[in-house]
A and B are shown apart, each in its own frame.
Chain A
Amino acid sequence: MSGIVTLFSELIQLLTLQNMLLLLVGCSMGIVIGALPGLTAAMGIALLTGLTFGIERGSAIILLMGIYNGAIYGGSISSVLVGIPGTPAAAATVLDGHPLALKGEGKRALRLATCASFIGTLFGMICLAAFTPLLQRIALDFESPEFFLLAVFGVLICGSLTSEDLPVKGWIAGFIGLAASCVGLEGMHAYPRYTFGSISLMAGLAFIPAMIGLFGVPSIINILSQGQEKEILEIGKGRGEFFLEIKMLKKYLLSILRSGVIGVFIGTIPGVGEDVAAWMSYDVAKRRSKHPEEFGKGCYEGVIAPEVANNACIGGALIPLLSLAVPGSAPCAVLLGALMLHNVRPGPMLSFEFPNFIYEMSAILLLAAFATRFLGLLAIRGAVKVLKIPFFIFMPMIAVICVMGSYALEINIFHVYVMFGFGILGFFLSTMKYPAAPLVLGMILGPLADINFRRTLFIYEGSMVPFVTRPIAIIIDLMILYTLLSQIGGFGKVYAFIKGTLGK
């Protein structure tokens, strides 16, 4: 009960003209970023994080949360009208959204996507406010061995679930991230590791420029070198859509609730994120539907289910971020960097340093849901106009913003070099089907894993026993073991067989 009161009091405090304007600006930017194929929510947040350095903490978070929520929704615009997902999170929406646009029902599909995104965000927000304090209480029992194991589990599960080719590629990406986090002065004795005498490397490889490079530069190189352009369908007309939305909500209520639960659950798994949530929700909706044959041909449920799930995933991904400092998705990983930049350290101690922060974030998410709903209905035509800007004009502009976003972080040209270096690495990795998200997660969780691994060894005089005997550690060990074994050799086949049997 006190949680609800705190949530409303935070909500009232946030209702200022400046905040509302920032939220609208953030959501608009997010919608545009999300709508443009090749630009992702993570990239949008990463680009803007450096620029929020001089802005007050609350305002910066409102702006970034607006971008996050707006971008996840915005992806549906190009999914429906272009047939290319604006963000990976909206990939599942293409399957039924684009056929609807081809039938002349583009506007209806977009209105449904807006409505579904709104409900999804609300669902995620409720779970965020309800479950984060509980998890935070459990996290207070975490000690060094658990934090080390949690970081390793985060990297491994993220690698397994985001790799579109071999799971080992995801793990490799994650461990490259952990290796990159070793560069610079280490946290215990301030010993310079892998700096080779360079003063610029003493502070380590800043992960915000690295993220801008990993998410931004490969898109710029790929789109410009392949000469990609897009064909945009007309929005189409539709009257009495509001009543249709109500009717749809009633009809697909069960599917909406199920997608919300899937979205939040997938969100809580470290580093996995909105795209997996949307696909899983689409798959479940299709399998549970009375008319699965309609899916892929312009079915309304095929738009609603993934859009509810990908937006519900935002709240879900914030749960481990705020309670354990382990981001639930790639955009959340960037958001973690942004929070740290503004002196907010998520994790078990957050409730002591900023007692109402979880409710503040929930209130921001609630407002972002309304702002996106409002803008989604009004600004679809505006977003379509931006979509019409050809890539050869748009992508060089993005390159300039990538450069300035990295530079502005600490007014340091070295960060621009780091951004470029990681951009080239990201390009090669994406060409060879290595996911970028585990690398980012590895860079973020690296210091946490390093310090807690050594602290455990020091406290227990070199004994590895605490990693396998403490109750919470055993649970995380089992999760790690399951992640590894489910992907390797014979066990993988048994696992796939069991999964297939259960599916039937």
Chain B
Amino acid sequence: MGEERERIQLRKADVIASVLLLIASAFFLFFALLMPAKFYIQATGQPSGIFTAPGIFPILVAGILIIESVLLLRTGLKGARGLHIQDLRQGISYIHTRIFKRLVIVVGLLVFYIFLLLGRVRYDVATFIYLFSTMLIFRRAKYSIAKIFFICVVFSLAVSLAFKHLFRIPLP
């Protein structure tokens, strides 16, 4: 019974995904159609015709993606047994679950590290801040803060030194 419910949920998600994919494929196709159609062979100056145009392959890919999206939409609509207002409510209730909150924190910490710390703060300091904050938030009770602090300091310094001196890579 649970499996069946999960399958129906998946099909509902497929309907939404297929619509998004259709829109994305249409954009992909639109920009492919805007690409120039005529090119010349550099060595001879002869026109190479429409067949070497840069948009040909993207048009083919976009066309197939549209067909695949329609196939997915059809399967999704068959298996979803209709979309109801309850589904929207269920989606909203998922936002309040513990897993979703933890998910937002994990992604948020990654965004903070990659987009805000890297390149702005010294690499070892940025890495330490990311590691310490992540481990602190998700830590298990038996691990003391001092132990986590020590692990983060050692790992940040080890990575920095390894990249700088062993791999000779300039740090961000």
Contact = CB atoms under 8 A, between A and B. Distances in A.
A462 B168 contact: no
Nearest to B123: A404
Interface string A176-188: 1011001000101
A175 B170 contact: no
B72 A169 contact: yes
Contacts of B103: 221, 225
Interface residues of B, number: 65
Given A166-B72, A179-B65, A408 B56 contact: no
Contacts of B163: 404, 408
B169 A411 contact: yes
Contact of A397 (B39, B105, B131): B131
Contacts of B115: 417
Contact of A224 (B102, B111, B172): B102
A420 B31 contact: no
Contact of B65 (A166, A175, A420, A462): A175
Contact of B159 (A390, A393, A400, A411): A400
Interface residues of A, number: 57
A355 interface: no
Nearest to B72: A168
Nearest to B56: A454
B17 interface: yes
Contacts of A416: 114, 118, 172
A400 B134 CA distance: 11
A392 B140 contact: yes
- The dominant DSSP class at the A interface is helix
Interface stretch (A123-131, A189-197, A318-326): A189-197
Interface string A132-168: 0000000000000000000000000000000001101
Nearest to B152: A396
Contact of A175 (B61, B75, B99, B139): B61
B95 interface: no
Contacts of A175: 61, 64-65, 68
B167 A51 contact: yes
A454 B118 contact: no
Contacts of B60: 453
Nearest to A185: B54
Given A176-B65, A433-B10, A449-B57, A399 B118 contact: no
Contacts of A95: none
B110 A420 contact: yes
B116 interface: no
B130 A221 contact: no
Contact of A193 (B17, B35, B49, B118): B35
Given A189-B39, A392-B139, A220 B106 contact: yes
Nearest to A453: B57
A403 interface: yes
Given A54-B168, A413-B172, A403 B48 contact: no
Given A166-B75, A168-B72, A396-B134, A225 B159 contact: no
Interface of A: 51, 54, 165-166, 168-169, 171-172, 175-176, 178-179, 182, 186, 188-189, 191, 193-194, 217, 220-221, 224-227, 229, 390, 392-393, 396-397, 399-401, 403-404, 407-408, 411, 413, 416-417, 420, 423-424, 432-433, 449-450, 453-455, 457-458, 461-462
Given A229-B140, A461-B49, 4 more contacts: A401-B159, A403-B114, A404-B169, A408-B163
